[in-house]
Amino acid sequence: MSKYYIGRKIRNLFDPQSKSPFKLSRSKIDLFLNCPRCFYLDRRLGVGQPPGFPFTLNSAVDKLLKKEFDIYRNKQTVHPLMEANGIKAVPFKHEKLSLWRDALHGGIEYLHTQTNFLLSGAIDDIWVNPDGQLFIVDYKSTSKENEVSIDAPWQISYKRQMEIYQWLFRRNGFNVSSTGYFVYCNGLTDRDTFNAKLDFNIKIIPYEGNDSWLEAKIVEMHKCLMIPEIPGHGADCDFCTYQKIIKEVEVK
């Protein structure tokens, strides 16, 4: 049987005495926003949350979308979905695109000198309009009967994700629009048969991002990691609630 949880980590942890830049991914920023305690346990003490199982179907949709948009990127022509939604842009062509898409070994990076954090994020796509302004694009996929949206409370993480990417590209000197786009694929289950084929409705959802919150949160993350004590349990954190209940049961 495969072992998915490797236990406590001992490498790449935050050291308050170190002068080297400390790398933080977009997902770790989101972890801090959800629960400073879990963030501290993960990045300073090496005790991360157990990972979920990979969403391989979502990954397949993501991969195929990238291949499809790359066809239009190479031709520098408008994708039919963009044209149908009145988006006057083409997929952005850049020599570093593959690096920016690589979540494991790359992403777009920016060194925040005040905290010495090397912040990074891996994007799905970028589009560019005739004026050279960039639109950050994120692919999402699901399967639900209702029309997809980004209005559910838990989807705040989607919006933060978009805003972090916009911030990173701006800090790298790019002209980035506040408008980003979610290419949302919804798997259809109303077909009479499967026939080894899954059909999708694809909706492009525009989102007006605002990254003004991020700078202050980066400073807060640094202050969090610098303190010697573990922060208190997060009131809305499922992992913290689980830990507290386990302790209560063990004591009884």
pLDDT tens digits for 33-68?
999 999 999 999 999 988 877 778 889 999 999 999
Q: How far is Cα 32 from Cα 10, in angstroms, rounded to an integer?
A: 20
**High-pLDDT (> 70) share of the chain, %:** 98
* Beta carbons of 37 and 237 less than 8 angstroms apart: yes
Statement: residue 244 has pLDDT above 90: no
Cα dist. 163→41, 94, 121, 126, 205 in Å?
A: 25, 21, 11, 14, 15
Look at 19-33, 44-58, 100-114 and tell me which has the smallest mean pLDDT.
44-58
**pLDDT in the model for residue 4:** 67
DSSP assigned state of 176: B
Is 0.75 topped by the overall pTM? yes
First to last CA, the chain: 34
Angle made by CA atoms 83, 87, 92, in degrees to the nearest 5: 95
Q: How many CA atoms lie within 13 A of 170 on its CB side?
A: 16
Question: In the structure, what pLDDT confidence band is assigned to residue 225 with cuts at 50, 70 and 90?
Answer: very high
Residue 2 has which token pair? Answer: 């495969």
- In the three-class reduction of DSSP (H, G, I as helix; E, B as strand; rest coil), residue 213 is classed as coil
Statement: residue 2 has pLDDT above 80: no
* Beta carbons of 36 and 231 less than 8 angstroms apart: yes
Strand order in the sheet with 125-128: 90-91, 125-128, 134-142, 179-187, 200-208
Helix axes 156-171, 214-226, angle to 10 degrees: 100
* Beta carbons of 122 and 105 less than 8 angstroms apart: no
Statement: residue 252 has pLDDT above 50: yes
Q: How far is Cα 72 from Cα 183, in angstroms, rounded to an integer?
A: 16
- Could you report the per-residue pLDDT of 131-152, keeping only the tens digit for each? 999 999 999 999 998 999 999 9
Amino acid at the residue 113: T
